[in-house]
Amino acid sequence: MSALVCGCADKNDDSVKMITEATFPPYEFLRGQEIVGIDVEICRAVAQKLGKDFRSETVDFDSVIPAVISGKADLAAAGITVTEDRKKNVDFSIPYVKTGIVVIYRKDNPFKDKDQLKGRKIGVQSGTTSEMFVTDELKQEPERAKSPAEAVAALKAGRVEFVIADIDPAKNCVKGEETLAISDFITSEEYAVAIRKGQPELLKAINETIAEIKADGRLAKWVKEFTEESDKLKEK
């Protein structure tokens, strides 16, 4: 079954429904109308293990975790960082990547250290750990955007001074942009698949799938392929 942008979940069907936010290359992005990326392949592999059809839907990032809590979707996979707060509301699989967030800056206004961010206008994607970094660590309000790319557009236009985002979409955003650069990691994070609490069998199937795709090289292959594809899309 193909993954259409509006492959809206039908309560009575027996497929595995993935919920994501598809502006986050290479983990999830749109190839025309189709949602593709590393997270999509991970969830498709889970569906395969369960012997079920697979479908996916993209919503705002703030709505991704609520969708599995309410049962609208089975698997939330959107480069979701495991956090103590989120663990109160959902169960997480074993992690499938170690990563973190970085600062995107204009080369004519170089970023040096975290102290420099205090009191500055900082763009983030709404609902993310980048937003939490600004509200919880810097104790200020960020400029919230719908996607990392929208935040970076504000940076280019001079409406924000810095953007904070996960490293991989950040790299994609600065690809081909002569005026922009990214910092080293300012946090250390891990991505995992989130599901509604109290589903030990589903959790086991996801964990087994992640262990398998790590061991047999599929995960590494998807990382390479989808990074290349999303970089190419950026060049267009």
Residues of this chain that interact with ligand ARG (CB under 6 A) are 20-21, 23-24, 28, 61, 78-81, 125, 128-129, 166
> For residues 158 and 137, is the Cβ–Cβ distance under 8 A?
no
CB of 100 to ligand ARG, least distance (A): 9
| CB 177, CB 136: distance < 8 Å | no
Q: DSSP H helical segments within the chain, as ranges?
A: 38-50, 64-69, 84-87, 129-132, 148-156, 167-174, 200-215, 218-235
Q: Which is nearer to ligand ARG, 23 or 183 (CB)?
A: 23
Shortest approach of ligand ARG to residue 172 CB, angstroms?
12
Whether the bond between 26 and the residue before it is cis, its omega within 30 degrees of 0, is yes
Q: Which is nearer to ligand ARG, 169 or 209 (CB)?
A: 169
In the complex with ligand ARG, the residue whose CB is nearer, 19 or 205, is 19
Q: What distance in Å separates the CA atoms of residue 69 and residue 88, rounded to the nearest whole number?
A: 11
Closest CB to ligand ARG among residues 82, 208: 82
Q: Say if strands 122-125 and 162-166 run parallel, antiparallel, or are unpaired.
A: parallel
